């Protein structure tokens, strides 16, 4: 088994967004330093890290220097070239492995993986041409959703297929030859489970979060979720099984649908901290970010007991202007991301509302 990193070690984080920022903040109390690698100037993560390299993801010299300066490498979002991560993995330990990243980057690979692991999914078909789209719609039906296989998030890169949709127009609007058609699922709610898995193979799943989206962007996550105990257990079992099959070291977030009969269907996976896990910063014995640091450095995983029932609310765009009211609320914990400009649809921060006894 790989050696546990001692305090003073340096964690290299690829990506400079808010997830990297909160990971660096969680690493510091454990004695770890963080080095951020990002193409972005003045990124949220760079504001709190010991060191930052600003360079393109294909800069071989910068990547080599970055790898030489750290003890372990991880990533805070999945839209990073797999080639970059594979190159780094030859120079330093990378956790999770590049193969995990590859699965999460492609929607068909992701769904194939979930299905092959025994998990349920919505019906889907890989679509690479307009004719294939027509065949897939004839098979799966309408309504359905056509999505790009890569780089879509928060509702981007997708179009709903209804009885009125002209398929040629829908196909051309995505400007891709790599898409997936997903059938609509009748569901009671959307949930997610974040599971951590350490170097020794130990895994620990956080309690299920109940998620509510507005305009395809996560608005709130509530823990505990309003689901039966057997549904909670099934969701956590699915997440742990996927992490085990991936041989994951790090975090895996699994978004799921709960059907009216209580079954859980996998929607998406992400091998990193996740927006729906932000509640854990104030409502859980161990935050998802501390758990992430523990996993990739080889430390024992922390407990995941709920300390307070918590509702996490994303601050999107101008909602961040409510910060003064939020900090005056005794049961609210404000987390801002250090972004200079509030734009529509942009995540500027979040607030955890705790229900104290």
* pLDDT tens-digit series, residues 75-131: 999 989 999 999 999 999 999 999 999 999 999 999 999 999 999 999 999 999 999
Instruction: Look over the chain and give the mean of its residue pLDDT values, rounded to a whole number.
Output: 96
Q: Is 166 annotated as a binding residue?
A: no
Q: Is 338 annotated as a binding residue?
A: no
What is the average per-residue pLDDT within 225-236? Answer: 97
Q: Is 267 annotated as a binding residue?
A: yes
Q: Is 158 annotated as a binding residue?
A: yes
Q: What angle do CA 79, 201, 282 make, to 5 degrees?
A: 65
Q: Is 20 annotated as a binding residue?
A: no
142: left (phi over 0), alpha (psi -120 to 50) or beta: beta
CA 112 vs CA 196, 230, 242, 266: distances in Å: 22, 25, 12, 11
Q: Is 169 annotated as a binding residue?
A: no
Q: Is 184 annotated as a binding residue?
A: yes
Q: Is 152 annotated as a binding residue?
A: yes
Q: Is 153 annotated as a binding residue?
A: yes
250: left (phi over 0), alpha (psi -120 to 50) or beta: left
Q: Please write the tens of the pLDDT for every residue from 209-218.
A: 999 999 889 9
Q: Give the pLDDT confidence score for residue 1 in this predicted structure.
A: 42
Q: Is 75 annotated as a binding residue?
A: no
Neighbours of 345 (CB within 10 A): 12
Q: Is 230 annotated as a binding residue?
A: no
Q: Give the pLDDT confidence score for residue 2 in this predicted structure.
A: 58
Q: Is 155 annotated as a binding residue?
A: yes
Q: Is 268 annotated as a binding residue?
A: yes
Residue 286 is encoded by which pair of tokens? 């161990």
Say if residue 155's pLDDT is above 70: no
């Amino acid at each position: 088994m790989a050696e546990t990193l001692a305090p003073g070690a340096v964690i290299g984080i690829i990506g400079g967004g808010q997830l990297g920022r909160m990971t660096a903040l969680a690493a510091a109390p454990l004695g770890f330093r963080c080095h951020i690698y990002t193409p972005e100037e003045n990124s949220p993560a760079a504001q709190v890290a010991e060191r930052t390299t600003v360079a393109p993801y294909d800069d071989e010299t910068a990547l080599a220097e970055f790898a030489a300066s750290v003890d372990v490498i991880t990533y805070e979002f999945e839209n990073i070239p797999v080639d970059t991560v594979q190159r780094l993995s030859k120079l330093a330990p990378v956790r999770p492995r590049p193969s995990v990243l590859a699965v999460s980057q492609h929607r068909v690979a992701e769904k194939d993986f979930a299905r092959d692991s025994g998990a349920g999914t919505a019906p889907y078909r890989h679509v690479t041409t307009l004719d294939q789209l027509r065949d897939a719609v004839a098979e799966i039906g309408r309504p359905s959703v056509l999505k790009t296989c890569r780089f879509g998030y928060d509702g981007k890169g997708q179009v709903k297929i209804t009885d009125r949709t002209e398929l040629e127009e829908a196909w051309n609007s995505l400007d891709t030859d790599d898409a997936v058609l997903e059938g609509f699922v009748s569901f009671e709610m959307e949930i997610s489970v974040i599971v951590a898995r350490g170097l020794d193979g130990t895994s620990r799943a956080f309690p299920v979060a109940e998620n509510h989206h507005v305009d395809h962007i996560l608005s709130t996550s509530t823990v505990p979720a309003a689901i039966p105990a057997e549904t909670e257990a099934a969701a956590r079992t699915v997440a742990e099984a996927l992490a085990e099959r991936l041989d994951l070291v790090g975090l895996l977030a699994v978004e799921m649908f709960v059907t009216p009969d209580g079954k859980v269907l996998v929607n998406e996976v992400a091998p990193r901290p996740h927006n729906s896990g932000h509640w854990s910063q104030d409502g859980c014995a161990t935050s998802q970010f501390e758990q992430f640091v523990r996993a990739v450095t080889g430390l024992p995983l922390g407990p995941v007991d709920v300390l307070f029932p918590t509702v996490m609310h994303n601050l999107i765009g101008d909602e961040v202007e409510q910060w003064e009211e939020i900090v005056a609320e005794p049961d609210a914990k404000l987390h801002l991301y250090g972004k200079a400009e509030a734009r529509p649809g942009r995540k500027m921060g979040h607030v955890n509302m705790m229900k104290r006894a």
